[in-house]
Amino acid sequence: MAAEVESVEALIDEFVPADNLKDLKRLLYGAELPSLNLSNEAKLFAQEKDIELKGYIFSAASESTRSPKIVRIGGVQNKIVLPTTAPILAQRDALHKRIADIIKCAALSGVNVICMQEAWTMPFAFCTREKQPWCEFAESAENGATTKFLQELAHQYNMVIVSPILEREEERWDVIQNTAVVISNSGEVIGISRKNHIPRVGDFNESTYYMEGNTGHRVFDTQFGKIAVNICYGRHHPQNWMLYGINGADIVFNPSATVGALSEPLWPIEARNAAIANSYFTVAINRVGTEEFPNEFTSADGKPAHKDFGHFYGSSYVAGPDGSRTPGLSRTRDGLIIAEVDLNLNRQIKDKWGFRMTQRLDLYAKELNDVLKPDWKPNIIRE
């Protein structure tokens, strides 16, 4: 098997001369964002623990009536630690330990709000279509071991932690959900946000496990800005991103788990477009590595049964409301992407571009209502 390409950035940095690289990065990324000065302690710890650590700065103009609102946001991408054949609790605890290190690295880097990848306490087992043992990874959002574990870290590091897990609704018929738990820097659970759009793609029909979320488009008002969570497949739906913006989000995290040729052409586009269209920051987070399962399964693509879903290509990044974005993390390594952002940029871009002023919500509310009527016909003009 050919080695995975490291990243777009590695390729262009290697071959394009410095003068031209500046132009190229402006055209590809909107701007070459300055790197964030991270502490030596953070850098050494990252090196010791084999964590790719990258930080960038999105700045804003200074204003007369508002102080800057500087926040450091982080996205975590990681491989699973133990093989999928290890006991469930051992797999989970090994991931807890790994994430504890990455969150410590974030704390050493001054991160205020952090988010892990989708279903971070487990392998992405939904491709197998087996219920057992994978459903055993599901936990109570409010009282599960993972939430308790993170509440301590959140309080210890004064950090808001967004924890996307497989949720078991213990008091509501044992239903399973795909849920992000938002934990305040005080250590309290502020609330939960569920995945609004569920893929029914051949080899990952996740509605085998959970249905469309029922928590709408909540925004969580934290000490470090208003945040929202658009889980994985929800990034393909611009109207989903839009409603988080309508409710006032400053930062929307997109914890994901996505592989290979199918989604990689979409990856650099969707979360960046959402940041542009909604005048907020987005953090696109994908897991890394290849996960092998004990039993073979098919991928609804005519190919023979196999034991892995493909390569999760990482490439996590942060995008800003002005169309600029950070380079991506690697396609192969565990990593932490950090952006120091001035949230004032969001309103400055709103004032500049006026997308909220010109959005004509009345037109769209009316047209969508019409579409739902049983006698709706598409608006087609024929010669």
As annotated, the active-site residues are 118, 195, 232
Contact pick of 44, 89, 175, 368 for a second copy (by CB under 8 A): 368
The answer to the question of residue 297 lying near a second copy (CB under 8 A) is no
The answer to the question of residue 265 lying near a second copy (CB under 8 A) is yes
Token pair recorded at residue 290: 């290849």
Contact pick of 66, 97, 131, 200 for a second copy (by CB under 8 A): 200
Contact pick of 142, 246, 292, 298 for a second copy (by CB under 8 A): 246
The answer to the question of residue 232 lying near a second copy (CB under 8 A) is no
**For the purposes of burial, counting CB atoms within 10 Å of the CB of 360, is it exposed (0-12), middle (13-18) or buried (19 or more)?**
exposed
Report the nearest approach of a second copy to the CB of residue 169 (Å).
18
Distance CA(21)–CA(25), nearest Å, equals 6
Report the nearest approach of a second copy to the CB of residue 155 (Å).
13
> How is 145-198 classified by DSSP, letter by letter?
HHHHHHHHHHHHHT-EEEEEEEEEETTTTTEEEEEEEEE-TTS-EEEEEE-S--
Binding to a second copy, residues 70-129 (CB under 8 A)? none
Name the segment binding a second copy (CB under 8 A); options: 41-49, 68-76, 86-94, 321-329: 321-329
The answer to the question of residue 310 lying near a second copy (CB under 8 A) is no
# residues contacting a second copy (CB under 8 A): 89
CB 106 within 8 A of CB 115: no
The answer to the question of residue 220 lying near a second copy (CB under 8 A) is yes
Query: How many CA atoms lie within 13 Å of 91's alpha carbon, on the beta-carbon side?
Result: 23
Is it true that the peptide bond before 374 is cis, omega within 30 degrees of 0?
Answer: no
| Per-residue x/- track, 2-41, a second copy (CB under 8 A) | ---x--x--xx-xxxx--x--xx-xxxxxx----------
Report the nearest approach of a second copy to the CB of residue 76 (Å).
22
> How is 88-113 classified by DSSP, letter by letter?
HHHHHHHHHHHHHHHHHHHHHTT-SE
The answer to the question of residue 354 lying near a second copy (CB under 8 A) is yes
Contact pick of 196, 230, 332, 346 for a second copy (by CB under 8 A): 196
Element containing residue 289 per DSSP (H, E): strand 288-297
Q: Which is nearer to a second copy, 124 or 233 (CB)?
A: 233
Closest CA to 182 of 165, 198, 170: 165
The answer to the question of residue 172 lying near a second copy (CB under 8 A) is no
- 139: DSSP letter: B
Residue 311's contacts (CB-CB under 8 Å, 6 or more residues apart) are 4, 259, 260, 289, 290, 331
Name the segment binding a second copy (CB under 8 A); options: 40-48, 51-59, 283-291, 348-356: 348-356
Q: Which is nearer to a second copy, 98 or 272 (CB)?
A: 272
| Residue found under tokens 């946000």 | 193
Contact pick of 106, 219, 337, 343 for a second copy (by CB under 8 A): 219
Distance CA(215)–CA(192), nearest Å, equals 8
